[in-house]
Structure 1
């Protein structure tokens, strides 16, 4: 099953670690040496999240958490080159009702790994499971994933169906027969999206969003610096993606996806230029227990930033149906 599901990695996007809920203020706009970590920590606090640390094997996990373990647990998984902070805006609406866990995946955000770490989807999924076990929140968990995080969520659910209560997929990675974007047809093009130099962030932001939310230029500058610093690991993951694109097919993806029968909800932006919206219906046809996809009009690849209120609202409605 792991080998089959490795193909889920093929159509993930390069995502934006920065979030945009911080309200514009003169203090931010006038800052010449803004501390982006302090800004993000304030946003996490606004969302009801605390930063936690957990060492599991050779990984030093950093994650956000809210609520107590007596509430139903949700694990939110970000995408390639993203971070836990991608989910802050959605988490704001979930934390009053759920025990929310949002990890920085290995080689992302603040989570630390060895230099020779295996960054494949199967290994990331296995390490996520070990993390959940060490934190004692692996039982009866709701799993949600965005883009590459959707690939990990799918594989996690396929491997641990008895302990997964539901699955949310937001513009999820996969290998689709209905692929009609350049990045699905030729994964080599993803090499052009790695943020390696000044100016790359703006190109990526315009590609990933249909209605880009406002971000003060100082925050964008600092975010670009962080992504440039992480570009080596991002490039390693893209290299694996390209290599696997030569091995796996939509048929192997379909076989693996059809094994999943937990309640599933699919959300997609109809203007997604990375993973086209037709993939949502294809996923619906493969999953045994998926509701009709919720399609967001005028939204690109980043619904969790572009339409966070609608994503939260629809997800809460779906969660309330679960026993």
Structure 2
């Protein structure tokens, strides 16, 4: 086990998973809320809500009012807080928005919500247009959020300035020995009972996780269990969707992305094999990649400083390169 910089031992496991506001009473919930509030403030973010298609969507926002806009999308069973460490670096120059997708974090999902990726992308689009931030938007996604971000960039190429994909979900030809080699194993990512969160963190999500205080782990696990009805429905939807697509059809979609793209991957990813990064890079029109040694599925938590530095450098280049597809002023 390693213990990283200040706040890491307590804040890292919290940022990995969903936030607790819509959970029922959980042990040490006040501690959990306090830590998350401190972390968002440290990242330069404030909590906000907005009605999107009848759903009260929670999001974090911060950074210079006139700064370039960046949208951060979390992965399966995650939350906007996944991005707090990266946002800490971004909010000095960029205006950052980090969304809780339906059924995650502080955004409840109605029973009728369709968790197909296309629908999650359209929900994200409505969030963006409701806030009026669609023009010249930089879009970033981790894991499932990467698939949503990629689909968004392909659909709205006139407006997307750049794309960041971190250990992005997709249909890949080479899945190595990761969970994606047998999609049914992805149900191992669900937190249904006590003990499941520790297994998720130590076996799948991170290569070398930090020491996690038991009271914090216990509270966060209760939150995850309170979200299980949404996570199970989402997982079932994702598994069904994976039957519809092949690596060829997925690559065709990737080739339609016009925005310059940075692909970041942990070389010890146990969920989506690092070989996927090379597949993406071969099919993206304008891309560069960063492979991180001894990092698992969550580089935005395990190697946040390295990811942030690479992303800031990439954003600077993207800002200096006009979008050739954007309408002329």
TM-score normalized by structure 2? 0.87
Counterpart of 1:123? 119
Partners of 2:100 and 2:88 lie apart in 1 by: 17
Partners of 1:32 and 1:233 lie apart in 2 by: 23
Counterpart of 1:11? none
The answer to whether the Cα contact below 8 Å between 1:34 and 1:218 also exists between their aligned partners in 2 is no
- Structure 1 residue 290 corresponds to structure 2 residue 272: no
Q: How does 1:87-98 map to 2 (within 5 A)?
A: 87-98=83-94
Unpaired segments of 5 or more residues in structure 1? 1-15, 21-30
The answer to whether the Cα contact below 8 Å between 2:71 and 2:138 also exists between their aligned partners in 1 is yes
The answer to whether the Cα contact below 8 Å between 2:49 and 2:58 also exists between their aligned partners in 1 is yes
Partners of 1:153 and 1:84 lie apart in 2 by: 14
Partners of 2:206 and 2:267 lie apart in 1 by: 11
- Structure 1 residue 139 corresponds to structure 2 residue 135: yes
The answer to whether the Cα contact below 8 Å between 1:169 and 1:266 also exists between their aligned partners in 2 is yes
**Count, aligned residues:** 297
Counterpart of 1:226? 223
The answer to whether the Cα contact below 8 Å between 1:34 and 1:219 also exists between their aligned partners in 2 is no
Q: Return the offset for 1:67.
A: 2.1
Residue 268 of structure 1: which of 265, 268, 271 is its match? 265
Residue 206 of structure 2: which of 206, 209, 215 is its match? 209
Q: Return the offset for 1:318.
A: 0.7
The answer to whether the Cα contact below 8 Å between 2:13 and 2:217 also exists between their aligned partners in 1 is no
Classify 1:33/1:241 alpha carbon distance in 2 versus 1 (closer, same or farther; 3 Å).
closer
Unpaired segments of 5 or more residues in structure 2? 1-11, 17-26, 321-329
Q: Return the offset for 1:239.
A: 0.6
Q: Say what the alpha-carbon RMSD is for the aligned residues.
A: 1.5
Residue 78 of structure 1: which of 74, 85, 90 is its match? 74
Classify 1:57/1:122 alpha carbon distance in 2 versus 1 (closer, same or farther; 3 Å).
same
The answer to whether the Cα contact below 8 Å between 1:17 and 1:82 also exists between their aligned partners in 2 is no
The answer to whether the Cα contact below 8 Å between 2:109 and 2:230 also exists between their aligned partners in 1 is no
Q: How does 1:136-175 map to 2 (within 5 A)?
A: 136-175=132-171
Classify 1:17/1:253 alpha carbon distance in 2 versus 1 (closer, same or farther; 3 Å).
farther
Note the alpha carbon deviations across 1:167-205, whole angstroms, 9 max, x for none: 000000011111113421221111232100000001000
The answer to whether the Cα contact below 8 Å between 2:188 and 2:200 also exists between their aligned partners in 1 is no
Partners of 1:17 and 1:150 lie apart in 2 by: 20
The answer to whether the Cα contact below 8 Å between 1:171 and 1:275 also exists between their aligned partners in 2 is yes
Q: Return the offset for 1:17.
A: 7.1
Counterpart of 1:303? 299
